[in-house]
Amino acid sequence: MSAKSAVRNTTWAELKVGDSASIERTCSVQDLILFAHVSGNLNPLMLPSADGADEKTDPVAPSMWVGSLVSAVLGNILPGPGTLYRAQNLSFLGRVHVGEKVKVTVVCREKREEPVAVFDNKIINAVGQIVCEGTSEIEAPTVAQVIEARHLPSLIVDTADHFGRLVVLAAKLPPLKTVVVCPDDHNSLSGALLSADRGLIEPILIGDPERIKAAAKAMDADISRYAIESAADPHLAAARAVAMVLEGRAGAVMKGNLHSDALLAEVVKKDGGLRTQRRISHVFALDVPTLDEILYISDAAINIAPDLMTKVDIVQNAVDLARACGLEQPRVGILSAVETINPAIQSTLDAAILSKMAERGQIRGAIVDGPLAMDNAIDVEAARTKGIASLVAGRANVLIVPNLEAGNMLAKELTFIARAEAAGLVLGAKAPVMLTSRADNDRARLASCALAQLYEYWRREGRAFGDQATVAKAAE
């Protein structure tokens, strides 16, 4: 074992009065989240805000977390492995906040009958103020040990609620009149009502009135203030929803308890649908615990095997949504199985052409690069290992997949394996369409409404909603 990978303890016999050891530690949001999980202490003063609604950005570290740093010095350094506590006395003289660095020092004050020793403890902040002091009575190890330094398993802690911030931002806009198609089960109706309560939408419920009322009764919800339009079956309900948008009675459509095909068939109809000059596509927005910003994936729901020119619209639609949500210049990775151009793999050729089209201004508002494989699109180290020099590689926040199958599998793997939260929006139509899975929860529908609000503002005004500071905060 090398010196760097091993720790040698100090036995009671070797320990001398006056011996000391120190560590430095910076308090992070992750520390507070993990401590809350372990201790069960959910004091709001000691946790970041849950949904971005609270302007408080400086939570206080729990005093016991601060005190626990003493045990790190005693157990890891002096006396080190084999140390056991007998007693601990601490006085807390100051507070530690997220981002503050502290220095923790222990000094051997007294050796008692073997194996007992007493240590003075002091914790000071970056400006030299004492935030904690006290004494530790411990049992020092009596046998010398050289212990290999232990590397703990990695933890994924989702410390940022990106969707929550977008919901807060979108709620500052007037509610968007939204036709909710067949909201006749718990998930679809409760999501619509939650979005209405948060001020994102003004719902118009369309479908079988008796089924809608039965769903409301089952969840003890009052829907008397909302308009209900009767439609005999899901296909008629979808057709009527599209017609209401064309008539100017609604500005968006939300999918309820019906198959996506039934709704999309009416949206993409050549006559009487919501088509525009741009190809309609779907974008998944995912709040992934391991990423620092929302990840956008397209197209995973509408275009089965898009050709090159369809992909141009798919990319532009995704870029526009990302910019509407606060990304000033999205980084778009065009995915394939490999990161090199291979004439036998059509998606690598498409990726290279799309990258060049973006350079020539045929795709606007983003940096586009490809082909990229999933690893080197997302992970900087993977991109560096493969020698890819790019402004996108390792940092992509928009991913364009080769076909629907790849996109759908990728989005659902992130949702069900990586525990990402997902929202979905259909773009390129005359109005945004919130296309969520029937199994999606209230939060997915709420986030989809926020996307629709911000995207509709972008379409109307040609810029993201809010001042630059507000939008940047929402995008963090």
293-351 pLDDT tens trace: 999 999 999 999 999 999 999 999 999 999 999 999 999 999 999 999 999 999 999 99
Is pLDDT above 80 for 468?
no
**Of 279, 338, 337, which Cα lies nearest the Cα of 313?**
279
Taking only Cα atoms into account, the Rg of the chain, rounded to an integer number of angstroms, comes to 28
CA angle 168-172-178, nearest 5°? Answer: 95
pLDDT tens for each residue of 129-151? 999 999 999 999 999 999 887 78
Q: How confident is the model at residue 438 (pLDDT cuts 50, 70, 90)?
A: low
Gap between the Cα atoms of 413 and 443, Å rounded: 19
Bridge partners of 138, per DSSP, are 85, 117
Long-range interactions of 118-123: CB distance < 8 A, separation 24+: 119/74, 121/70, 121/90, 123/66, 123/69, 123/70
Q: Where are the beta strands (DSSP E) in 60-100?
A: 84-92
CA atoms within 13 A on the CB side of 438: 13
Supply the pLDDT for residue 458: 94
Bridge partners of 313, per DSSP, are none
Gap between the Cα atoms of 30 and 42, Å rounded: 14
Supply the pLDDT for residue 51: 52
Supply the pLDDT for residue 3: 42
Gap between the Cα atoms of 333 and 274, Å rounded: 28
Supply the pLDDT for residue 1: 37
Strands 6-8 and 146-148, bridge-based pairing: antiparallel
Mean pLDDT for 107-125 is: 97
Supply the pLDDT for residue 54: 47
Supply the pLDDT for residue 202: 95
Residue 90 near residue 134, CB atoms below 8 Å: yes
Supply the pLDDT for residue 88: 96
Mean pLDDT for 31-51 is: 87
Gap between the Cα atoms of 369 and 358, Å rounded: 9
Gap between the Cα atoms of 95 and 109, Å rounded: 26
Measured over the CA atoms of residue 36, residue 293, residue 284 and residue 471, the dihedral's sign is positive
Q: How confident is the model at residue 159 (pLDDT cuts 50, 70, 90)?
A: low
Report the helix count and the strand count for the chain, using DSSP H and E.
Answer: 14, 18
CA angle 344-345-351, nearest 5°? Answer: 135
Is pLDDT above 80 for 56?
no
Q: How confident is the model at residue 437 (pLDDT cuts 50, 70, 90)?
A: confident
* Percentage of residues in the chain having pLDDT higher than 90: 83
Q: How confident is the model at residue 204 (pLDDT cuts 50, 70, 90)?
A: very high
Q: How confident is the model at residue 4 (pLDDT cuts 50, 70, 90)?
A: low
To which H or E segment does residue 194 belong? helix 186-197
pLDDT tens for each residue of 382-407? 999 999 989 999 999 999 999 999 99
pLDDT tens for each residue of 206-234? 999 999 999 999 999 999 999 999 998 99
Supply the pLDDT for residue 471: 47
Gap between the Cα atoms of 231 and 222, Å rounded: 21
CB neighbour class for 259 (10 Å; exposed up to 12, middle 13-18, buried from 19): middle
Least confident of 97-101, 153-157, 182-186, 243-247: 153-157
Residue 432 near residue 425, CB atoms below 8 Å: yes
The domains located in the chain, with CATH, are 3-148 (3.10.129.10), 160-275+442-449 (3.40.50.10950), 278-428 (3.40.718.10)
Q: How confident is the model at residue 50 (pLDDT cuts 50, 70, 90)?
A: low
Supply the pLDDT for residue 474: 46
Task: Work out the end-to-end distance of the chain between its first and last CA atoms, rounded to an integer number of angstroms.
Answer: 42
Structure tokens, 222:
């009052």
Gap between the Cα atoms of 162 and 179, Å rounded: 26
Supply the pLDDT for residue 149: 79
pLDDT tens for each residue of 65-75? 999 999 999 99
**Of 7, 451, 456, 443, which Cα lies nearest the Cα of 187?**
443
